[in-house]
Structure 1
Amino acid sequence: MSLPLPFRAQSRRRRGARDDSRQDWIDERLREARIVVADVVHHSDHMVRLACNVLVQHGQTPEEREDARILLVVLGGKAHGRGRPAWADPEDRR
């Protein structure tokens, strides 16, 4: 006859609390990401990219995820604009 072990029930409770804590953390990051994207003019491109990556992975609706993906494409195009890169030497013109 096997008796139930007390640590198993505790382990399940701990796992449930850990999952709740993780979901709370994700929800907070989503809230912050939405704030950054809503005010994109006042945030750096790097911060907007981070926010978009969060929304692409964890956004609630397909539209939210797709809009974030499109914004990432736009930011990528901005980084690869025309002209010399900022790090190029001005003496190296031909």
Structure 2
Amino acid sequence: MNSNLEVNDMARTLVEELDALHDEYVVAVNEAVAANDLGRVERLAADYDHDATTLVAEREGRAHLLPLVRARQQGSALRRLARRGRAAA
């Protein structure tokens, strides 16, 4: 039973860390949007993906699997928005 508590505490801590990371990026993205810096918005979206993935991998003992090489995807809603904004500019 103690091992379950440890796992839950560790998962909660990871979630809290991911929430804090997300909050930092939300502030930075909002500042970039306010400055009409869509290139920065796109870079921040990519950086967030990288930082969140790295955080999870390190906490889960899977850092040896990094760096991940992913196929080019359509991207998140934030990335699509940044591309549309650049195309309209």
**Contact 1:36–1:47 (CA under 8 A) maintained in structure 2:** yes
Q: Which residue of the partner structure matches residue 48 of structure 1?
A: 41
What are the ranges of 5 or more consecutive residues in structure 1 without an aligned counterpart?
58-67, 79-94
Say whether residues 1:74 and 2:70 are aligned partners.
no
% of aligned pairs identical?
8
Say whether residues 1:14 and 2:7 are aligned partners.
no
1:22 & 1:30 partners in 2: Cα distance? Answer: 12
Q: With CA pairs under 8 Å and 6+ residues apart, which has the higher RCO, 1 or 2?
A: 2
RMSD: 3.0
Provide Cα deviations, 1:3-44, integer angstroms capped at 9, x if missing partner: x3x22211111101110110110111011000111112xx4x
Q: In the superposition, relative to structure 1, how do residues 9 and 48 fare at CA in structure 2: closer, same or farther (>3 Å)?
A: closer
Q: In the superposition, relative to structure 1, how do residues 21 and 72 fare at CA in structure 2: closer, same or farther (>3 Å)?
A: same
* Paired residues, number: 60
Q: Which residue of the partner structure matches residue 26 of structure 2?
A: 30
What are the ranges of 5 or more consecutive residues in structure 2 without an aligned counterpart?
49-75
User: Aligned with 1:14: secondary structure?
Assistant: helix
Give the AA of the match of 1:46: G
- Say which one has the larger Rg: 1
**TM-score, length-normalised on structure 1?**
0.48
**TM-score, length-normalised on structure 2?**
0.51
